Amino acid sequence: MALIVQKYGGTSLGSIERIKAVAERVKHARDRGDSLVVVVSAMAGETNRLLGLAGALAEQPEPRETDVLAATGEQLSSALLAIRLQVLGCPAVSLLGYQVPIATDSNHGRARIMSANPARVLKTLAEGRVAVVAGYQGVDDYGDVTTLGRGASDLTAVALAAALKADGCEIYTDVDGVYTADPGVCAQARRLARISYDEMLEMAGLGAKVLQLRSVELARRYNVPLVVKSSFTEDSEGTWVGHEDRSMEDVLVSGITLDQNQSKLTIAGVHDRPGLAARIFGPIAASGVVVDMIIQNASADGRTDVTFTVARGDLHRALEVLRGVAAEIGAAGVRSEEQVAKVSVVGVGMRTHAGVAAKMFEVLAAERVNIEMISTSEIKISVVVRAKYGELATRVLHDAFVTGGGVEGAAPEGGQG
């Protein structure tokens, strides 16, 4: 008998009909003899609706109260699913964050999990019942309700799977796995059968929304293999996310990601001297803005430009801070481009194969797409391009690396190919 954690997202539970369908699925799995812990998200749109209510009453609602409010979304769906399971003759109990308990720090709205106590869930399972756990929420040292950040029901599922030493953690959503690119942008995109944690982390961080970033980090740390599947089809094989193995290196590029939600800022004509970057990025960081890519040009006349990207929602705050810095340090000026896109190729195969970057630049050049910034890591190359070229760049890179199979003549480093 296996212990399985299943997690159902908001669209999977988006209506009474969907909740009935999920209950059937859970019952099916239990009829096979497995012990089941089911983590639920709020019904689709519910968390936004709740936060909207608070926003209609106060400009800056107190985070403690916002958490009490937002956590009701998962309270509702956990009760509804348990109610339906009981109708199907499948004994089930809903458990809220504080009842498990999922212990967190007191950072309301983005609390970190300190521990997930497996005792009560195990007792529930031992009684032959399904534990339906409300995702996204926990309880702090004061006994107050906390939430773990948007999309964090995935995190609840992984934390429980780790604490329970579960045999599997299945994440059910409205797509049947992780794709080589966004199918809405690239018709050729296909489902990946397997992907490594590292690749998934890059893809999640780069804006592929299938799994929440922190849940993948936690899964890697505690060796929780994940499978991402659709709850809308019967025969979804999904995508396995796990540790890298040799065969994964044979695939040069696993996916192309597109982040359309970026802006670019430049502070121009600054005196190039030690401490410059600290003077610029210290105040930016202090304002809570996360900077992504940075380039600084060397210059002949001792003046330099520094360009960087931020999430579009942070542009105005970053601009304000940067204008202040520019005035203080006597820069020539500040420029910004609100709409830029970041396109990335991701694959663990890059660790051992050369030539990916060169090929990427060639492919973009052939389409006359100008590259404005470049950054690389061991398993990723990202470029910033004009926003209007983002989708085109994604498609041609997908054609070249995924459909087309990659770099001609690329040889494993140090080997003979």
Closer CB to ligand ASP, residue 241 or residue 410?
241
Residue 154 CB, nearest approach to Mg ion (Å) = 6
Backbone Cα Rg of the chain? 24
136 binds, among ligand ASP, Mg ion, none (CB under 5 to 8 A by kind): ligand ASP
Report the DSSP beta bridge partners of residue 386: 340
Contact call for residue 41 and ligand ASP (CB under 6 A): yes
By CB under 6 A, the count of residues binding ligand ASP is 11
276 Cβ neighbours under 8 A, 6+ residues apart: 270, 304, 306, 329
Residue 242 binding: pick among ligand ASP, Mg ion, none (C-beta 5-8 Å cut-off by kind): none
Q: Does 132 bind ligand ASP (CB under 6 A)?
A: no
Q: Is 73 in the site for ligand ASP (CB under 6 A)?
A: yes
User: Which residue of 97, 151, 177, 406 would you call a contact of ligand ASP, by CB under 6 A?
Assistant: 151
Binding of ligand ASP by 42 (CB under 6 A): yes
Residue 2 phi, psi (nearest 5): -100, 155
Residue 135 sits in the site that holds Mg ion (CB under 5 A): no
Residue with tokens 């003077």, as numbered in its chain: 279
Q: Rounded to whole angstroms, how far apart are CA atoms 40 and 249?
A: 35
9 lies in the binding site for Mg ion (CB under 5 A): yes
Instruction: Give the separation between CA 34 and CA 26, rounded to whole angstroms.
Output: 10
Among 11, 92, 116, 135, binds ligand ASP (CB under 6 A): 135
Report the site for ligand ASP in 289-308 (rule: CB under 6 A).
Answer: none
Cβ 234 to ligand ASP, closest distance in Å?
Answer: 24
Q: Rounded distance, CA 5 to CA 224, Å? A: 11
**The only residue of 71, 152, 397, 407 in contact with ligand ASP, by rule CB under 6 A:** 152
Among 66, 124, 153, 231, binds ligand ASP (CB under 6 A): 153
Nearest to ligand ASP by Cβ — which residue? 153
Asked if 385 and 344 count as a contact pair (C-beta separation under 8 A), the reply is: no
Size of the site for Mg ion (CB under 5 A): 2
Assess contact for 6 and 39: CB atoms under 8 A. Answer: yes
Q: Least distance in Å: CB of 307 to Mg ion?
A: 33
Please report, in angstroms and rounded to a whole number, the separation of the first and last CA atoms in the chain. 45
Q: Which does 8 bind (CB under 5 to 8 A by kind): Mg ion, ligand ASP, none?
A: none
**Residue 382: which of Mg ion, ligand ASP, none does it interact with, CB under 5 to 8 A by kind?**
none
SS (H, E, C) 231-293: CCCCCCCCEEEECCCHHHHHCCCCEEEEEEEEEEEEEEEEECCCCHHHHHHHHHHHCCCCEEE
Residues 98-127 that bind ligand ASP (CB under 6 A): none
Sheet holding 145-147, edge to edge: 113-116, 102-104, 137-139, 145-147
DSSP state of 142: T
Let me know: does 224 contact 218? Beta carbons within 8 Å. Answer: yes
Which listed residue (47, 236, 304, 382) binds ligand ASP by CB under 6 A? 47
Which residues of this chain interact with Mg ion, rule CB under 5 A? 9, 151
Binding footprint of ligand ASP on the chain (CB under 6 A): 10, 41-42, 47, 73, 135-136, 150-153
